[in-house]
Structure 1
């Protein structure tokens, strides 16, 4: 039988899925940061790029083991990677992944682009990724594509979005900003009665 591999490499984790050609997921694996610019280094991996590739390899081999197949059974590997920003990044990842045999054909793209395959029937449109960092991608019907990569504020991910939502609630409680429906939603989610209790939850020196 023939199988395909899909990998999403982010700044928090790397997820790998192995599937049959009808789309049935047969195995999954999870590794650490897959961003070649930001993966934590250590005594084993002296630079972020090497550490990221090791995390990717761990996720893929875990997925292969779960599926009970070998890398040589993969006809295609698609890698949607945070940190795949410049031509030299694509070349580095392509070489590293080909050396490990993760697909007879290997395709590397920025992580902002992968979601378009799932969210658009013709692979066109605009995608916004809000993970540890943020990324925006776009593909036109004539094949032209663009991704924001380092053009965009890399700090603008889910943590910043959450903090801005909390700030809106705090400022509303002080009367500086208009009332927001986020207040009731936050209090309900955290099972709290007041905004002050929520502020204490996130800022107290002693975390219960």
Structure 2
């Protein structure tokens, strides 16, 4: 299973790599609702997949291994706690929980070897080797030194636009572009609407594409933010490669998540140019395969399935 903040995909996969059934359900958000409540929501999606596969009610009797890549499993201790909580549900004989970034990495490589940077609502990076070694970051926001992600970019854009309008900051086209996205004529009106809840705060993520569009039109403030994000992506990649002793080897560096998968030309070109200098042997690519494929491949790795099973599984998600 791949469970993100907004949606969950579950696949019931045979040992030969055949997808026997799949289902989609709501997101996985234990920080908001608590672990058990989040698992209750997850259980309905799992149950739907089991029922489609004809295994409803059999649980661990029919499932050898549960491979779960979950949002909000940011620290190893959280992975351990969630592994125990999922296993207690009796969905399989064995259970392994990983952060959902590992699913994107494994979906993009033929073997568990490489580095992935994911930039969606937030930003994260992981690396892994076939021998089980990994490189990772806490990725819990500013507290752990993170910068970027769609939500973070929107906050930065709002900050610069607000200061441009009231005179504390330098001029930027973001000052008019951000409120215009919501049909408003000033940053003051947008600030008021967000503060009073007339525009739900969750909609702030819509401003990330506005930032990229404004940068593409030549606005220096917007462009500086795009370039800073490229620097963050490359910094994460290079540190992960160094931790795994991969800087001197040809190795995949995969980009995923809504912001990076959108392939904004300026961001994409900047990331590739910086990596060519700082990690010249990195082979950069964008992951377009669904993360649930990666979670399933990790499951096949765990049970020692032959390479043909992984190839069959990948073909079904092509």
**TM-score computed with the length of structure 1 as normaliser:** 0.67
Distance verdict in 2 for CA 1:65–1:131, change over 3 Å:
farther
Distance verdict in 2 for CA 1:75–1:156, change over 3 Å:
same
The answer as to 2:52 corresponding to 1:9 is no
Whole-angstrom CA distance in 2 between matches of 1:65 and 1:152: 43
Aligned ranges 1:27-42 → 2 under 5 Å: 27-38=21-32, 41=33
Higher helix share: 2
Q: Partner residue of 2:48?
A: 62
The answer as to 2:66 corresponding to 1:77 is yes
The answer as to 2:125 corresponding to 1:125 is no
Per-residue Cα deviation, 1:63-112 (whole angstroms, up to 9, x for no partner)? 11111113220001100011112344223212221111111111111111
Aligned length: 166
The answer as to 2:145 corresponding to 1:156 is no
- Residue 56 of structure 1 aligns to a residue whose secondary structure is helix
Q: Partner residue of 1:146?
A: 135
Q: Any gaps of 5 or more consecutive residues in structure 2?
A: 155-205, 224-263, 266-318
- Residue 74 of structure 1 aligns to a residue whose secondary structure is coil
Distance verdict in 2 for CA 1:109–1:66, change over 3 Å:
same
Distance verdict in 2 for CA 1:61–1:144, change over 3 Å:
same
Instruction: Say which structure, 1 or 2, has more relative contact order (CA 8 Å, 6+ apart).
Output: 2
Contact 1:12 1:132 in 2 (8 A): no
The answer as to 2:103 corresponding to 1:134 is no
Q: Partner residue of 2:37?
A: 51
The more displaced of 14-23 and 122-131 is: 122-131
Higher strand share: 1
Q: Partner residue of 2:93?
A: 104
Whole-angstrom CA distance in 2 between matches of 1:101 and 1:157: 36
- Residue 31 of structure 2 aligns to a residue whose secondary structure is coil
